[in-house]
Structure 1
Amino acid sequence: MLAVNGGKPVISEGTVAPWPYVTEEDREAVSNAIDKAVPWHWPMDPVTELEEAWAEFIGMPHVLAANSGTAALHMAISAAGVEPGDEVIVPSDTFLASASCVLQANAIPVFVDTDYETFNIDPAKVAEHITDRTRAIVAVDLNGLPADYAQLREIADRHGLTLIEDAAQSHGAFYQGKPAGALADMSGASLNGSKCLSALGEGGLFATWDADQHRLARRVLMFGEEIPHQGRDYNARIMGWNYRIDVLAAAFTRSQLRRLEHMSQVRQANGAALSKILSDLPGVRPPAVPDDRTHVYFFYPLLVQPEDLEIDDLPVESFRDAVEQAVKAEGLGIMRWQHQPVPAQTLFQEMRGYGRGCPWSCGHARPGHSYDPQRYPVASEICRRRLVLGQSFSSLGPPNDLQTMRAFADVFHKVLVEERDELITLARAQHARQG
């Protein structure tokens, strides 16, 4: 019997370890940072140490630690020279910050549909959205899988565009032997507590190959001032946003970074083991991993496929909700993520922006922009079918191991195979309630 109907759950409370995985070394690092922070000064040693360590880890020479991944992306957009009225290509299926960073520059996000296999931006659809206003492409390594940078690089170079990597979910992943965070001209990465590289609270990392871009990004990080390391002249050159990272967050992240390689290997092994089992189960599609890259499973995305069970009269949405309800009841954290493509969100449908319709109505943008959700059919279909494991509630990171993954798989086997009739009954009840 399914646990949702009164049966015994497969996974008992406390079986799955939460994320982030905190060690005594992490606690000691934070404690030491408290001592180093008195008297107050900037930049503090733990911040500089984190920047240097991330630069070494990804092999990119210029790094700035920020207070969020959103801030790091805004810094990248500004450093790319994006100005009011310019256009920036972004994926339609991502977190809002991948697009809102463009609005922060008074520029226009132009959305591109998704590749159904990888969940990342579809390179084959990028060129058709490029205009004489396009200045940059933001590629997102969604779920923990790098985008196809070989194709995106060719497109960016052909059109003279800056390529920016949103590596918020992919710390520790690789594409063609190169680490995430160093796959484009610049990158922005989140250190939100749930991320594969965690600040426990909030944080971000900006990285670039170019010293001038680093200087411009640092202006945004500070208050528009030039060089905080050489004494302040209190002369703002541009708008700055005080994006400085908290020193304790920096220290925690630096400690976690020492174990990132090992933690990423655990994630890859756990994800591969889970996919091997789930690929034989009807009703869900596990994530694909192309041969030229690795996946670190910040999210482990599943697409529900009721067609596999020959349920022709049951909407996908009802089946998805029933699977979510049943899996949760068995003790495994699962949820929907991004209920609709970003351009379908109210911000873009109503185009109010940050007031009076800006940036679309500010006079610099070309007229005629609109965001019809029907232009993104693949992203819409993914959002309709997607459920995710991972993040903090069902982490694929350590100390969770292959035994934990077998427990995850046991849940799906029970829900989709052993108690399939109950699941279908539950789905039909969901459909009836939804009208």
Structure 2
Amino acid sequence: MSGRLAMFGGSRAVVLDDGDRARLAWPVVTEAERSAVLAVLDRGGFTSVGSGGAVVRRLESGWAEFTGTRHCAAVASGTAALELALAAADLEPGAQIVVPALSFVASAFAPLRQRVEPVFADIGPRTFTLDPAAAAAAITPRTRALMAVHLHGLPCEMDELRELAARHELLLVEDAAQAHAAGYRGRQAGALGDIAAFSLNVSKNLPTAGEGGLVTTDDAALHDRVVLHRQFGERIPDRGPRGYVSEVVAGNAKLGALQAAFTLGQLAALPERAAGRDRNIRALLSQLSELPGLLSPQTGEDRRHAWHMLRFRFDVGAMGHPEVAPGAMRAVLERALRAEGVPVRRYQCLPLPAQPALAGREGYRTGRYPVTEAVLEDSLTLQGWHLNPAGGQVLLRCAEAFHKVWGQLDLLASLARQEVA
């Protein structure tokens, strides 16, 4: 596709009609979800205490079976899942956990709320996940755990991280909030570490009607402590009266029956939707593979990407404009692609340790996490549009928009130079 760029008055490459919007809608709500939620409304029992607990337990057993783990606990959110996973580990106050420098803030906030100190390590330049060598360098005598964040849906280098955790006797926590149906060397995300936390936020690949989370583990003792910390330190019986006996100090992070019922419908469709999403994204990436300087996500033959997000990096040298600042080029490309109808945007604008809420703890300084900083400077993400597998044709139109924009790289580079002049 050629022609005047939309940002200069040309026609948009991607124009949506009502049918397109329906094909891109997420989550996909079918009769299965409607019937399941209505059954809860008709039956009553809206919480996991009492009659509502049955549907929550079905979700827990279904997710444990899907991930190949022995135990699953349903909780109120993905952040709560991370907090409860760490609470179950009973790490001493002041213990440290190694966390990637690129992640959502919950990866650092959850440890802090358990009085565990996050220590940050750099990431891989194309995987965007924790670099095992950087993680090893971040370990101190106070380190008690590693957090493997499967960012955007790609599993971390888990064999290396497991070896590192075993060598230093560390807990290996999976932050799998974006990694539903991701796989690594024949195993599902959620079964790759000692304990794993998933998010069921409405935007996730396995959503609920609002917020929710799941904690998986093969360790019966860890699971028992997660369940204890989920609701006021109580052991809630499946049947019979509630005892109101609290064994540990804990809050309230249980999942409601309506959310569990909705997610059960989504779980039934997860394998088919994950396969369709994978086909669509590989078709998109194939269309983009020859564009100079456009770096697509690295996947690897040994793992399955869940494709929660797509992150593209831009190599100004390969574009033929090494003199242009990467951040300036990224900003101009963002404007050009959005004008063409492609909703790319930044995901995280700061390294996690540079967040104002965290920066004072570590004394963050520029240059400490060079890969993370470079990725944030020269990349954009595509979010949401690719989740519904019915949207494959729209993604191919997005590919046409990329080609149109790349046909004007010289002009865009000139604009980028002006931005920093």
TM-score norm. by structure 1 comes to 0.90
* Aligned residues between the structures: 411
Query: 2:127 & 2:33 partners in 1: Cα distance?
Result: 34
CA contact 2:325–2:417 (8 Å) conserved in 1? no
Q: Partner residue of 1:355?
A: none
CA contact (8 A) 2:386 2:395 kept: no
1:10 aligns with 2:10: no
Q: What's the TM-score, normalizing by structure 2? A: 0.93
Q: 1:215 to 1:13 in 2, by over 3 A?
A: same
Q: For residue 137 of structure 1, give the secondary structure of its aligned residue in structure 2.
A: strand
Q: 1:431 to 1:39 in 2, by over 3 A?
A: closer
Report matched runs for 1:249-260 at 5 Å.
249-260=259-270
341, 347, 351: which one aligns with 2:351: 341
Kept in 2: contact 1:67–1:203 (CA 8 A)? yes
Taking the aligned partners of 2:48 and 2:416, their CA distance within structure 1 comes to 58
Asked whether 1:387 is paired with 2:376, we answer no
Counterparts of 1:40 and 1:13, CA distance in 2:
40
Question: How do 1:229-378 residues align onto structure 2 when only pairs under 5 Å count?
Answer: 229=238, 231-351=241-361, 370-378=363-371
How far residue 427 of structure 1 moved from its aligned partner, in angstroms, is 2.9
Structure-2 change in CA distance of 1:56 and 1:414 (3 Å)? same
Cα distance in structure 1, aligned partners of 2:48 and 2:141: 45
Q: Structure 2, unaligned stretches of length 5 or more?
A: none
Query: Which residue matches 1:360?
Result: none
- Give SS of 2:391's match: coil
Q: How far off is 1:430 after superposition? A: 3.9
Taking a change above 3 Å as real, the CA distance of residues 374 and 39 of structure 1, as seen in their structure-2 partners, is closer
State the 1:429 CA deviation.
4.8
SS at match of 2:377: helix
- Shift of residue 284 of structure 1? 1.7
Which residue is equivalent to 1:217?
226
Are residues 334 and 39 of structure 1, via their aligned partners in 2, closer, same or farther at CA, if it must alter by over 3 Å? Answer: closer
Aligned residue in 2 for 1:358: none
Moved more, 136-145 or 306-315: 306-315
AA aligned to 2:272 is H
Q: Report the secondary structure of 1:259's partner residue.
A: helix
Secondary structure of 2:156 counterpart: coil
Distance in 1, Cα, partners of 2:14 & 2:199: 31
1:129 alignment partner in structure 2 = 138
Give the partner amino acid of 2:194: D
CA distance in structure 2 between the partners assigned to 1:235 and 1:9 by the alignment = 63
Aligned to 1:400: 391
Instruction: Give the Å deviation of 1:283.
Output: 3.2
- Would you say the 8 A contact 2:45–2:257 is kept in 1? no
C-alpha distance after superposition, 1:237-257 (max 9, x if no partner): 322121111222211111000
Please say which of residues 127-136 and 379-388 is displaced more in the overlay. Answer: 127-136
Identity %: 40
Which of 423, 426, 429 matches 2:412? Answer: 423
Is 1:42 aligned to 2:49, yes or no?
yes
Provide the C-alpha distance between the structure 2 equivalents of 1:332 and 1:33, rounded to a whole number of angstroms: 39
SS of 1:238's partner is: coil
User: By how many angstroms is 1:181 displaced?
Assistant: 1.4
Superposed CA deviations along residues 87-117 of structure 1, whole A, max 9, x for unmatched, are 1111111111111111011111011110112
Deviations 1:215-244 (CA, angstroms, capped at 9, x unpaired) = 111122101223443643323332212111
CA distance in 2, matches of 1:3, 1:332: 11
C-alpha contact (below 8 Å) 1:341/1:373 kept by paired residues: no
Following TM superposition, the consecutive aligned residue runs of length 4 or more in structure 1 with deviations greater than 4 angstroms are: 38-41
Mapped to 2, the partners of 1:385 and 1:424 lie a distance apart of: 14
Which amino acid in the other structure matches residue 406 of structure 2? L
